[in-house]
Amino acid sequence: MLLDANHRGALNGLHSALALLEVSSEDLPLICDSGAEAVVQRLTAVATDREGRTGSEAARCLAALWAIGFGNGENAATVANSRRVLKAIPQILDDCANGEHPAAATACVGLVCTLTPYLANRETVALVLNRIPALLTSHAKNAIFTVRAAYLMGVFVHFSMVVTSSMTSSSMR
């Protein structure tokens, strides 16, 4: 499997995804084994409309990308550089805002948490954060979603503080 077995995050990502999607332990690793680019292609092939973006195949692809990105920085960088995935993420979350499709919403936010350190442009994180209040309201009973959303908000606050601090120190020179 393309997960780095020595990285605890790999197992965390895989187990979170398996628990989230209630799929067999053989199904998700098979998707992961196809590689980051193949999973990106698989996701973008099914994410062409609302039904596809919120369906079980999209959720599996998002969870696979979350798992292989969590366990392998090279995979995370590949996914973070995919314009197709970054374009699909806000659309998927919009489609999940009504409280339906918890697997797609959670896997999507989990994926963004994994990608955040690798994103050159923080616009995707900002687009996701703008959607978090509505998603938290509609997915309040989903513990995994709530934890990942809280983590993502914390990352964004930290990033904002670092940027503000660097801007302040630059202007003082």
Q: DSSP secondary-structure letter at 116?
A: G
Q: DSSP secondary-structure letter at 49?
A: S
Which pLDDT band holds residue 150 (cuts at 50, 70, 90)?
A: confident
pLDDT of residue 1 exceeding 50, the answer is no
For the segment 54-94, what is each residue's pLDDT rounded down to a tens digit? 888 898 899 889 888 887 889 999 999 999 999 999 999 99
Regarding pTM above 0.75, the answer is yes
The domain locations on the chain are 8-167
The answer to whether the CB of 31 falls within 8 A of the CB of 39 is yes
For the segment 85-130, what is each residue's pLDDT rounded down to a tens digit? 999 999 999 999 988 888 889 889 889 988 988 887 778 878 888 8
How many other C-beta atoms lie within 10 A of the C-beta of residue 61?
28
